[in-house]
Amino acid sequence: MENILSAIENPKEFIKLDRFDGSNFTRWKDKMIFLLTAMKIFYVLDPQLPDVPDPTAEDSDEMKATKKKREDDELRCQGHILNTLTDRLYDMYQNLKSPREIWTALQSAYENEKRGIDKFLSLKYFEFKMVDTKPTMDQIHELQILVSKLSDLEVKIPDALQISAILSKLPSFWNDYRKKILHSSEKLTVEQF
Q: Could you tell me the residue range of the domain that residue 69 belongs to?
A: 25-111
**37 and 64 share a domain?**
yes
**130 and 173 share a domain?**
yes
Residue 180 lies in a domain: yes
**101 and 46 share a domain?**
yes
Does the structure show a pLDDT above 60 at 99? Answer: yes
**130 and 188 share a domain?**
yes
Per residue in 162-186, pLDDT (tens digit) is: 888 888 877 777 788 888 887 777 7
Contact 80, 12 (CB under 8 A): yes
**34 and 103 share a domain?**
yes
- Look at the chain and report how many structural domains it folds into: 2
**107 and 122 share a domain?**
no
**Least trusted range by pLDDT, from 20-24, 43-47, 55-59, 80-84:** 55-59
**100 and 122 share a domain?**
no
What is the Cα–Cα distance from 37 to 84, expressed in whole angstroms?
Answer: 16
Residue 69 lies in a domain: yes
Dihedral sign computed on CA atoms, order 181, 186, 190, 192: negative
Residue 3 lies in a domain: no
What is the Cα–Cα distance from 182 to 163, expressed in whole angstroms?
Answer: 10
Single residue among 55, 90, 111 that ends a domain in this structure? 111
Residue 41 lies in a domain: yes
Residue 10 lies in a domain: no
Single residue among 93, 111, 129 that ends a domain in this structure? 111
pLDDT computed for residue 119 by the predictor: 65
Single residue among 84, 111, 138 that ends a domain in this structure? 111
How many other CB atoms are found less than 10 A from the CB of residue 14? 13
Per residue in 138-151, pLDDT (tens digit) is: 888 888 888 887 77
